[in-house]
Amino acid sequence: MPGIGVTVDGTRYEDEVDACLPLSQYLRERKSGGIPVDCPTAECGACLVLVDGVAVKSCLMLAVQTDGCTVTTVDGLADDATAHSLQKAFRRHVRRCTRCRPGLVVAAVELLRGCSSPSEQEIHEGLSGVRCPCGSDADIVRAVCEAADAVQDADTQLPETRVVG
């Protein structure tokens, strides 16, 4: 089995992994409760994580591909025990979306990096890679708008990311 050394949310892991082990499964087994069970089609986007600052669907990436990388899950977006403004807004407004919330938050980070004050249409487009079956569209838009306002008010810098996959 190949060995990997990967930093996940600030903690370094050295493990031997099966060459075919998806990153999402590795993260669930090793660390994160923020990675939902894989969907059968890799279309939902709920498992988005940042790998060296790039948002990827962790169900489509192999754990061995992260050797030497830094992985940030939704849990790792917190800064000095203060939840990222998106996490706060999602907790406040989007209560039904517990399975898809991690991917939505990571996708929203990407959206706000490129557009600090997105319109409703831009929010829908920016989060279109994460399928949310919960019917919380209006709540999601409200949460992203609130987070955008909070980021602008605090002049907070969001993590450098770009979405792929």
Domain boundaries, the chain: 3-76, 85-156
pLDDT, residue 163, reads: 47
pLDDT, residue 47, reads: 87
Report d(CA 50, CA 152) in Å as an integer: 22
Which candidate, 80, 64, 86, places its Cα nearest to that of 13? 64
Report d(CA 114, CA 112) in Å as an integer: 5
CA angle 58, 68, 49 (to 5 degrees): 25
| Nearest 10 degrees: Cα torsion 8, 62, 97, 134 | 170
Report d(CA 29, CA 128) in Å as an integer: 28
- In this structure, whether the domain defined by 3-76 belongs to CATH 3.10.20.30 is answered with yes
Q: Examine the pLDDT at 147 and tell me if it is beyond 70.
A: yes
Q: Examine the pLDDT at 42 and tell me if it is beyond 80.
A: no
pLDDT, residue 155, reads: 56
Higher pLDDT among residues 29 and 68, named by residue: 68
CATH of domain 85-156: 1.10.150.120
pLDDT, residue 28, reads: 87
Residue-wise pLDDT for 91-134, tens only, equals: 888 877 677 888 888 888 888 878 889 999 999 998 888 887 77
Task: Name, in order, each residue with C-beta under 8 angstroms of 54's C-beta and a sequence gap of 6 or more.
Answer: 161, 162, 163, 164
Which candidate, 149, 9, 18, places its Cα nearest to that of 81? 9
pTM of the model: 0.79
H-type helices in the chain, by residue range? 23-30, 85-93, 101-114, 120-126, 137-154
